[in-house]
Structures are given as structure tokens and as C-alpha cells.
Amino acid sequence: MKKNITINMLGRLYAIDEDAYGLLQQYIDTLRSYFAHKPDGKEIADDIEARIAELFDDLKAQGVEAINIQHVQDIITRIGDPKEMDEDEPKEEETAEQDEEQSEETSTVNRLKEEIVAYFDRLRKSGKRLYRDPSDKKITGLLAGCARYFGGDPLWWRLACVLLVFITFNTSLSSGMLTPFTWTPLWLVLIYFMISIITPVAQNPEDRLKMKGKDVTPQSLAQEVTEEHVQADIPQFRQSGAIGCVGGFFKIILLLMKGFLILVCIFAGLVLVTLLAALIVLLTMPDLFGDIEFATLYSSAVSPTLSVVCVVSMAGVLFIPLYCGIHSILSNTKKLLPMGTPQRLMWAGVWTASLIVAIVSGIAIGARISIAEEKQDNMRHEAYIKANTHNGVFINKTDWDFLNQGGWYLLVAPSNREDHYTSDGEYYTGNQNVRYLDGYSDWGLNYQVEREKTDVAPGTYTLSVVARTNGKGAYVYAIADGRKYMVEIPANGNTSGNIWAEAKRRLSVADSLSSNPDETYYQNIVEANDGNGYGWNRVEIKNIRSTKGSVRYGISTKSSFTGTTFAGQWVSAADFNLK
């Protein structure tokens, strides 16, 4: 017993089996897909439907109560073959008015014949094409389509791909390459879905014939439509033997892969939403990611319009592939219709445009941020210089703290901001933590620093200093009662020196070391700088007479003060002692 339905064609009612109606509707839709693009395609489609209605009238005249699938198959064969479209036409004699109407009908039929013949001639010239096969799909139908196109059983194609994934997974695991950019199985899965997205689905009988490499003729098209309905009515029996076992195992693998892909899509969606939200916040509220000063500079450098364009384009780049992937999964589960070629091209074009706009706007924003950062760095550097400029001389905080705490006054300083005025790490005892006066400049040192000792009782004094330099023209000096005393610092560079030589001499006298409490002290001096010393010399200025209660002393390389041009780049001094 079959279910019958009633259809309306051109105002006439016909009783037809439900499966016969499905076959007829699919065939009409197949022909309409071509004629819809013709200038007068609607009229041609109406002629096709009128012709079918005439054939249905013939069946009713023959006493057929309900049209079944065999009747529809016969009509498809007659409509599909232009040579048979006017077979079995009544040849009764008519009046002149009827002859005129028949002539018009014949003209319409001939035009329909020409259109159909031209259509199938065009399709006949088309060759074999690659489609995804929805009738034998496990995920997207790509491998079944490849089997149709290149030959072979779809099952072996699937097994080969699973085997390839397992081999590459084992290789990546053994080599330790588990990052997203070097993990080969992940790239294989991504390539599979990318090819699936750009490969069309065989949606109609015409596509399925092209996928199989068969000529598209009226007979083959009608046969394909009929076979599809026949196969849909045939129950699928379970396979047995080795093929059944392999197929069952493969179905389990595919089920696990589908679950994994669903989880990956969910995770990717969450990550993309998070990234997009962070990008929106970064571009619209930069003060949340940095200080207020940078946010102000960013807002003045990057316009809101540019930020919005970048956000929208990035959203397109991120979410269009995600949408296409979800749509592909849902279409494979038959919850959505597959995308047609125009829709695929549209999304590909939108994604490409979004990518170009995102790259251009991102470069523009990056360039403007770089300018803002450079401007901010300059402002901070100027503020740092201003905060560390003392008496008109730029001094970093460490140098200033040492000079200020020691009572030193910088009279003359190098002009280069990269120069320094104190240092540590090469003290003559090898102690790396002792800081000392140290003037340095690559372009010729002009350096003078001094301090004043007050409440000096009248008398004669000696100034003892340890110092070093790498060029002649550096002096230790003292000024008392308006008189200047100077002694030049020996230019030993940063090796040896008389302090190192004296310590070495004392250690060489073995008898004196047995009871010398300063043995460790001298040992450290000798071993400093890998046993080479750091070039320190003890310098003394004797017979400094003071009667006014104060003495000024320091070091200088200033030629107008010393009367000698300094020939080095640096000078160091420490342990000033006036006694």
C-alpha cells in the first residue's frame, strides 16, 4: 500500500504516488537549474511543466487513477529525449483554427527541443570533475569524491589517510615537534578541511554524472534520477567478513575524529572570541594595557575609525573560516543545505578582502604605535635627563649619589651623556663592590672633581691618593691659601701599578709573611685582574701649607687648569687622605 497525494499543475489536479512525486520534482528541478539562466528560461520551464501535464492527461484518459513511479520514469524518458517529445501525438484532422493553435504549439515544442538539445550538447562536452560525494560520505565526502575521480574504493582511500595521520603523529612525537606550527597531523587535518571547503558537493544528478565521468545525456540524466530513488528505497544490509570488520573499525575512528573536531571547533571558537575581545579592548581602551601616558599618545596617534576597521576586518579573518567549518559540519549531518559555488566564492572573496584590510590597517596601526612609543621614549628620556641634571651637568643617579654623599663637586664634566663619573669593579684590592671616582670619554676627557676639607688646623699636610690613568696629563691636586699643588698620575693603564708591585714585593719576602697580618690583603692585590693588577698607583702631594683652615683637593684633566693636554680617555682615583 502506497501513500497518494494530489498535485496541482496548471490548474489541473492529479493523483500521484508520493515516491513518484519526489522523482518528478527532482527531475524538474534539475532541468530548471539550467533554464533559469536563460533570458526566457521561465517560459521554457512553464512549457516543460505544460508538456508533463499533457502526458498526465493522456494517462488519465487511458483510465489511470493514480500516477506511479513507472509512469514518471516513462515521462522522464520521453521529456529527456527530444526525438520522442512528440511521439504518439494524435493526428486527427482539425478545423483551420485548431490547425493554427497546433502550429503555435509545434513551434513552442520545437523551441523547447532546440533548447534541450543545446543544453545537453554543452553538458556532453564537459569532462570528469572532482566533487564531494554526499551519498557515500563519512565526514565531508571528499575521499569518496577522490575515489570517484581518481579511481579505487573509498574505504581504501580512508584507510590510507588514517594510516598517514598515524605515521606522521608517531614521527612528530618521536622527534619532539609538538608545536602547532610543526605538528604534521594537525596540518594534514587542516589541509583536508581546506580542500573540502573549496571542493563543491555533487548536489544534483548532473553533478553526480560529472563526478562519475559519464556523459550527461537525457538518458543518463533520467537514469541517474531514477537510480537515486531506487537506491534510497533499498535497505542497507550489514557487511560481513574482513570488509565489515575494517568498516566497523573505521566508523569508530571517524566517530572519535568527529568528536575531536567538534571539541577543536568549540575551543577554537572560544579562543577566537577571546582574541577578538582582547583586540577590541586593546584598540579601543589602550589604557587598560598600559599607562595613561601611552594611552593618551595612542589615542592621539590612531583614529577610532582605523581601530574599528581593523577590528571588523580581523573579525572577518577569524570568524569566516570558523563559520564555514561549522556550516560544513552541519551540512554533512544534513541539518543545513551545502554551500553552492557562488556562496563559496562570496565567502572566499569576503575573507580575502578582510585579510587584506586587516594587514593594511594592522601595519598602519603598528606604524603609528611605533611613532607613539618613540615619542613616549623621547619624553621619558628627556624627563630622566632633567631629573638627573645637577649644576648644569647630566649625572646618572648612581654617580650623583656617590658624589653627593662623598662631598665631591663636579667642576668640569664631559659633554657626552653616555660618559660616567664614577665606577666600580676594578678596585686595586680586587673588591668588586668598591666605588671610586672615574671619568671617561671616548672623545678626549675634560674632567675635574674636587672637595673641600674645612676646620683644618694651621700646619703642613700630605695628601695621599690611589689613582690610575691611561694617558699623560691627569693630575692630583690640592689648593691651600691660594696656592696650587699638583702631582701627575702615572699612566700604567689598567695593569700593574706601584701598589701591585709593592704588594708583590712584600709577598716575595717569605720570612716576613709568616707573621705578617696583612698577608691576605697583599695577596688580594697581587691576584687582582688575573695577577696583572689594575694599574693603581699611590700618589702623594707633600708640604701642603694651610693657615686659613681649609684645603681643596681633587683630580683634573682640564688643560687650562693643569697646563697639559690630557692624552688618554679615562682617569680613576680613590682613598683620598689628608694628614
Enter the C-alpha cell of residue 355.
585579510
- The residue type found at 385 is I
CA-to-CA distance for 361 and 299, rounded, in angstroms? 15
For position 217, what pLDDT does the model report?
Answer: 62
Q: Which of 261, 149, 125 is nearest to 202 (CA)?
A: 149
Q: Are 373 and 294 in contact (CB under 8 A)?
A: yes
Enter the C-alpha cell of residue 516.
705578617
- DSSP character at residue 427: -
How far is CA 268 from each of CA 198, 321, 355, rounded to the nearest angstrom? 21, 11, 18
Please report the DSSP string for 202-261 in residue order: --SHHHHHHHHT----HHHHHHHHHHHHHHHHSPPPPP-HHHHHHHHHHHHHHHHHHHHH
Domain segments of the chain: what residues? 4-79, 124-215, 259-383, 393-578
> pLDDT tens for residues 456-503?
899 999 999 999 999 999 999 999 999 999 999 999 998 889 999 988
For position 488, what pLDDT does the model report?
Answer: 94
- The answer regarding whether domain 393-578 maps to CATH 3.30.379.10 reads no
Q: Are 507 and 531 in contact (CB under 8 A)?
A: no
How far is CA 109 from each of CA 16, 45, 85, 106, 519, rounded to the nearest angstrom? 25, 12, 8, 5, 124
Enter the C-alpha cell of residue 322.
570558523
For position 515, what pLDDT does the model report?
Answer: 53
How far is CA 205 from each of CA 43, 217, 228, 521, 529, rounded to the nearest angstrom? 23, 11, 9, 100, 90
Contacts 24+ apart (CB under 8 A), 348-354: 348/198, 350/316, 350/320, 351/316, 351/317, 351/320, 351/321, 353/316, 354/312, 354/313, 354/314, 354/315, 354/316, 354/317, 354/320
For position 85, what pLDDT does the model report?
Answer: 41
For position 92, what pLDDT does the model report?
Answer: 43
For position 473, what pLDDT does the model report?
Answer: 92
Q: What is the block-wise mean pLDDT of the chain (579 residues), using blocks of 10 residues?
A: 76 81 77 66 75 83 82 74 42 47 58 63 60 79 83 83 78 58 66 80 76 67 64 50 56 69 72 72 63 68 81 83 78 72 86 90 84 81 78 78 88 63 89 90 82 91 94 94 93 90 80 60 87 92 91 92 90 93
CA-to-CA distance for 536 and 571, rounded, in angstroms? 10
CA-to-CA distance for 392 and 410, rounded, in angstroms? 10
CA-to-CA distance for 208 and 205, rounded, in angstroms? 5
> pLDDT tens for residues 26-64?
777 777 765 666 666 677 777 777 888 888 888 888 888
Nearest 5°: phi and psi at 244? -65, -40
For position 459, what pLDDT does the model report?
Answer: 92
Can you give the three-state secondary structure of 78-118, one letter per residue? Answer: HHHCHHHCCCCCCCCCCCHHHHHHHHHHHHHHHHHHHHHHH
Helix (H) or strand (E) holding 14: strand 12-17
Helix axes 218-233, 69-80, angle to 10 degrees: 160
Tell me how crowded residue 164 is: count the other CB atoms within 10 A of its CB: 13
CA-to-CA distance for 124 and 119, rounded, in angstroms? 9
CA-to-CA distance for 280 and 293, rounded, in angstroms? 20
259: Cβ contacts below 8 Å, ≥ 6 apart? none
- Chain position carrying cell 537510480: 227
Tell me the three state secondary structure of residue 436: strand
